[in-house]
Amino acid sequence: MDSLHYSKRLEDDGVILMPFVIENRFINGVKKEYDQLYDTVTNTDIPKTEPIIVFWKHVEGEQKKIVTFTEMPSLWNMINDCIVPTLREKLGKVAERLQLLETIIFNKPPKISNTLHWHQDVAYFPLKPNNQIAVWFPLEIVTKERGAMTYAIGSHKQGIRGSVNLHTNVSFDNEDRPLIPKNPEDAGFKVKTMEMTPNDMLVHNGYTWHTTGPNTVENYLRTGISVRFITDEAVFDPRPGQGAAFTKQVEINPGEIFKGKPFPIM
Ligand SMILES: O=C(O)CCC(=O)C(=O)O
């Protein structure tokens, strides 16, 4: 599929699945480093001078852990040598300007992990304009029972929605934006679960509604990595309910151009 087709599909559906775009050498390197760090990382401090990787276990009460790319160089190489070139090749103009916002490794241990409720990423981001694309790929095969990503197709066209606590689905205090319906299918959206292998890559628009269920498969860890990029120059525009980890790295004032060492242009 050429870049026009991919970018048109992203424009129409708000999400695209790109099969077989990640070589095993990238996945194997990241998996090896992640396995080594997984049990040992305890840091919760957020550095102000470099991009971060958030380790987020989907178990109620778990605290997010923070590592840097110095500790996970394989992921930095993968972003530079695989993800960014793939986005540019497959999406053309859409991916011309990619400013790294944050990287999160979502982990769902078997049986005890929970649902991450319907949300759109930009609801949590203090940016204007709020134009973002996110890449997501798993480190293992994902199926519906293993917590695959599920999307409401075309929902990005509905504009900004309110942010909720992703574990409880309760909206934050002072949230006055309309919320995503509890079941987008009831609201007329086609809902699609993206079963995939670690060689595949999802790209979604920051406005597209998505959710993941629990990982119900015994002895099977589900790890998903999301790398988010801002695609237009933006200004810092904070409001309540925007507690993404990277917001603690921001050292500019509201209304100023969003920039800083943690947010490099790739
Ligand atoms: O990996 C997951 O389970 C959820 C990922 C997600 O919601 C996101 O990348 O925004």
- CATH (domain of 79): 2.60.120.620
Report the amino acid identity of residue 265.
I
Q: Does the beta carbon of 136 sit less than 6 angstroms from any atom of ligand 1?
A: yes
Report which ligand 1 atom has the smallest distance to the Cα of 210: 7
Query: Atom 8 in ligand 1: which residue has the minimum CA distance?
Result: 226
* Structural domain contains residue 257: no
State how far the Cα of 259 lies from the Cα of 134, in Å rounded to an integer. Answer: 18
Domain count, the chain: 1
Please enumerate, as own/partner, the contacts of 254-261 that have beta carbons within 8 Å and a separation of 24 or more. Answer: 257/233, 258/99, 258/127, 258/230, 258/233, 258/234, 260/48, 261/48, 261/49, 261/50
CA of 50 to the centre of ligand 1 (A): 22
Is position 13 within any domain? yes
User: Parallel, antiparallel, or unpaired for β 116-119 and 15-18?
Assistant: unpaired
**Which structural domain range is residue 236 located in?**
3-247
Per-residue pLDDT in tens (0 to 9) along the chain, 266 residues: 666 789 999 999 999 999 999 999 999 999 999 999 988 999 999 999 999 999 998 877 788 899 999 999 999 999 999 999 999 999 999 999 999 999 999 998 888 778 889 999 999 889 999 899 999 999 999 999 999 999 999 999 999 998 888 788 878 777 888 999 999 999 999 999 999 999 999 999 999 999 999 899 888 889 999 999 999 999 999 876 666 788 889 999 999 999 999 999 99
Residue 266 lies in a domain: no
226 lines ligand 1 (CB under 6 A): yes
Rounded distance from Cα 226 to ligand 1 centre (Å) = 7
